């Protein structure tokens, strides 16, 4: 509902549910995926990078961190 209310075009935001290792490997190694971004453990990052290497897919990893974001005081949190 939140994504629909944001007026993003169809297909811009997608959620895929399932076992992390299984789904992550399928996505990271898929030839039609242009970039993989992961916030997680060093081991998970290694596995994603290994899977993405098959197609030389771009990878952005935030390992062991919290992927911080800046929220400005004029942000509409509701």
Whole-prediction pTM value?
Answer: 0.66
Is the pLDDT score of 55 beyond 70? yes
Token reading at 3: 């994504």
CA separation for the pair 44, 41 (Å, rounded): 5
Residue 3 clears pLDDT 90, i.e. is over it = no
CA distance 67 to 64: 9
The rounded distance, in Å, linking the Cα atoms of 42 and 72 is 30
Per-residue pLDDT tens digits for 16-41: 888 888 998 999 999 999 999 988 89
Q: To which H or E segment does residue 18 belong?
A: none
Q: How far is CA 9 from CA 1, 4, 12, 17, 36, in A?
A: 14, 9, 6, 21, 20
pLDDT of residue 45: 93
């Amino acid at each position: 509902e939140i994504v629909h209310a944001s007026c993003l075009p169809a297909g811009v935001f997608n959620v895929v549910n399932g076992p992390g290792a299984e789904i992550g490997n399928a996505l990271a190694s898929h030839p039609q995926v242009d970039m993989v971004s992961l916030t997680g453990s060093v081991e998970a990052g290694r596995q994603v990078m290994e899977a993405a290497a098959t197609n030389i897919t771009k990878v952005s990893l935030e390992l062991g961190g919290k992927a911080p974001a800046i929220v400005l005081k004029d942000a509409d949190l509701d």
